[in-house]
Chain A
Amino acid sequence: MPNVLVIAELFEGKVRKGSLSAITFAREAAAIVGGGFDLLVLGPGAKAAAPSLAKYGAGKVLAGEAGEYVAEAYAPLVAKNAAGYAVVCATATAMGKDLMPRVAEHLKAGMASDVVKVANQGGLVLVRPMYAGNVLAHVKVKTPVAVVTVRQAEFEAAAETGGASPVADAAASPAEAAAARVAVAGFEKVVSARPELTDARVIVSGGRGLKSGDNFKIIEQLADLLHGAVGATRAAVDAGFVPNDLQVGQTGKIVAPQLYIAVGLSGALQHLAGMKGSKVIVAINKDPEAPIFTVADYGLVADLFQAVPALVTELKKVVA
């Protein structure tokens, strides 16, 4: 029976929430190709993390202890364990994007990046955005194996289904020469008390209109009040107001929170590409012609330096 293999990602020994979106994709894809899905988790602490993955209805969970992630070492491992599967997928995180094309080449497989939807048309059809989200392409993979990265914002995190999938050891694979020519030279963790952008229920994003990194404090106040994450435009990142990992957009993070509050940003198409899937969009901008208003459910034409503090005061009356 054709099956789907999901690569689950670990961060500090725990399964990343983003991986649960790939499980949702796998359930949908498995229904179309006519099989089930299995999970593969690799890395330091993989065996300890495996039981937490056993609750999602997978046929089995394959766990393999491995060194710190580098694509050169993980791609052969994934390829080895992917033998016989029809679809191999992971969420399009930084790691998923780095790893999966290498896996695809290993398997001589076609790959669809950043898939947002599946369809059944005499087989599995993968729908993926192009041109900064202005075009959706329906693609079929012609090779026996299809490799897929899944857009987290478009597939809900899978819920546990109960039961316990059997856990087995992942197959090992000999090291390839490329791995000897790459070494991890460090990782500086960004520490933040706020939720990750891709997991947040509420996001408050600021743009060039904030005028300085210091002024981002008013964005942070609003975000904290709503237990949300802080986002930014590329212009704000380029100007050095905030670090790059806060960038939302075509070439930053793709997000779809319940509530997205866009402050002092114009709504360039590259930014819209990263947030227009949000459930409710609020825009605060002093220019009534700003393109952000074309996608906003609620638009407020105002100076942000007055409107945001006023909004914080007003919100304090209604949220605990």
Chain B
Amino acid sequence: MKILVPLKRVADPDNANKVKIASDGSKVTSEGLEWKLNPFDEYAVEAALRITENAATNARLGEVVVVSLGPAEAKQQVTQALAMGADRGMLVEAADEALDASVVVDVLEKVVAEEKPDLILAGKQVVDGDSNQVAQMLAQRLGWPQATFAAKIETDAGLKTALVVREVDGGVSKLKLTFPAVISVDLRIVAPEGVKNGNTPAEKKYNDGPRYPSLKGIMQAKKKPLALKKPGDFGVTPNPRLEVLKFEPPPARKAGVKVPDVETLVAKLKNEARVI
């Protein structure tokens, strides 16, 4: 079985309030911020590794291929995924500004045609663009079924189907997918029992969160195949469906006052803010 994980680098999400908008609104820069693997994509890599291993015997049950569209420097995040345990990587070099979901899908469609994965595991959203579109659009483009916002994935032992648990409005929904399929993952997928694959003993509890690359993993990553491509290699000329006219900061919210005690708080809520 083969899993394809598309991933993107983002400016340190814990400092997203430090990104800068050019004074003419033409662009957003993140100077001084570290580049990180999009957290949800890190979770997708972890989920892919859990699906393709027997954690008791360390036997690999399949291959994990990671692919990123981004600038040359994004090689670092692809390598990070290889160090976690992914088998092969691909970087399709493109300026972030030239990408929207449709361009990413144009390229991924061609990568899928070449790689023929059984499953695509994406993040639910990239936390710089916050679009939440690529997995669903790709699924439609390929004519594959989808399960978005996966909190749990349980495959059969033959790795042909998955039961996906999704936390949605008003409750918990379960979908049964037959591969090939697209799944996008939510935060909880990296909980200790987020993934079950019918091969790893059912009682296995993983550490909470995505695995850290081991020293050995980091050494091995340097030798793993990492293909460098351009959109043109796939016959794709980036032609986004969206045009950004300008960026602007959101209206600032001013801090109010500190109140000394609950009596004052209640009085203010009643008489000043009039919300109770």
Task: Write the residues of chain A forming the contact surface with B, with a CB cutoff of 8 angstroms.
Answer: 11, 16, 70-72, 75, 93-95, 97-102, 104-106, 109-114, 121, 125, 129-143, 176-179, 181-190, 196, 202, 226, 234, 238, 243-245, 250-251, 258-259, 268-270, 276, 279-282, 288, 293-301, 307, 310-311, 314-315, 317-319
B268 close to A (CB within 8 Å): yes
B228 close to A (CB within 8 Å): no
- Inter-chain CA distance A47–B276, complex, in Å, is 40
Q: B residues within 8 A CB of A296?
A: 255-256
Q: List 28 A-B contacts (CB under 8 A).
A: A93-B169, A94-B169, A101-B101, A102-B137, A104-B133, A135-B248, A136-B247, A136-B248, A137-B244, A141-B241, A141-B243, A142-B240, A179-B145, A185-B175, A185-B176, A188-B171, A189-B171, A234-B187, A238-B187, A243-B167, A244-B167, A250-B127, A297-B257, A299-B258, A301-B258, A314-B266, A315-B276, A318-B270
- In contact, B172 and A182 (Cβ under 8 angstroms): no
Chain B window 191-229, contacts with chain A (Cβ cutoff 8 Å), 1 for yes, 0 for no:
000000000000000001000000000000000000000
- Inter-chain CA distance A4–B255, complex, in Å, is 39
- Inter-chain CA distance A296–B133, complex, in Å, is 33
- In contact, B140 and A105 (Cβ under 8 angstroms): yes
11 additional A-B pairs beyond A98-B149, A125-B245, A133-B250, beta carbons within 8 Å, are A105-B140, A113-B130, A130-B129, A131-B28, A135-B28, A137-B246, A138-B245, A182-B176, A183-B175, A244-B186, A298-B256
Q: A residues within 8 A CB of B131?
A: 111, 113
B45 close to A (CB within 8 Å): no
Q: Which of B124, B177, B256 neighbours the largest number of chain A CB atoms within 10 Å of its CB?
A: B256
Closest to A276 in B: B253
Task: Determine which of B16, B101, B124 lies in contact with A111 in the assembled complex, contact meaning CB atoms within 8 Å.
Answer: B101
Q: B residues within 8 A CB of A234?
A: 187
B80 close to A (CB within 8 Å): no
Q: Contacts A71-B146, A183-B175 hold; do A137 and B17 have CB atoms under 8 A apart? A: no
B141 close to A (CB within 8 Å): yes
Task: Determine which of B128, B171, B241, B259 lies in contact with A187 in the assembled complex, contact meaning CB atoms within 8 Å.
Answer: B171
Q: A residues within 8 A CB of B66?
A: none
Task: Determine which of A94, A135, A178, A314 lies in contact with B249 in the assembled complex, contact meaning CB atoms within 8 Å.
Answer: A135
Query: How many cross-chain pairs have Cβ atoms below 8 Å apart between A and B?
Result: 266
- In contact, B276 and A98 (Cβ under 8 angstroms): no
State the main secondary structure of chain B at its contact with A.
Answer: mixed
- In contact, B262 and A121 (Cβ under 8 angstroms): no
- Inter-chain CA distance A295–B181, complex, in Å, is 43
Q: A residues within 8 A CB of B16?
A: 131-132, 134, 269-270
- In contact, B275 and A259 (Cβ under 8 angstroms): yes
Closest to A176 in B: B143
B144 close to A (CB within 8 Å): yes
Q: A residues within 8 A CB of B240?
A: 110, 142
Q: A residues within 8 A CB of B134?
A: 101
Q: A residues within 8 A CB of B17?
A: 132, 134, 269
- In contact, B258 and A177 (Cβ under 8 angstroms): no
- In contact, A136 and B249 (Cβ under 8 angstroms): yes
Distance between A26 CB and nearest chain B CB, rounded to angstroms: 20
Q: B residues within 8 A CB of A109?
A: 241
Task: Determine which of A135, A188, A281, A300 lies in contact with B19 in the assembled complex, contact meaning CB atoms within 8 Å.
Answer: A135
- In contact, B181 and A181 (Cβ under 8 angstroms): yes
Q: B residues within 8 A CB of A176?
A: 143
Task: Determine which of A113, A137, A185, A288 lies in contact with B133 in the assembled complex, contact meaning CB atoms within 8 Å.
Answer: A113
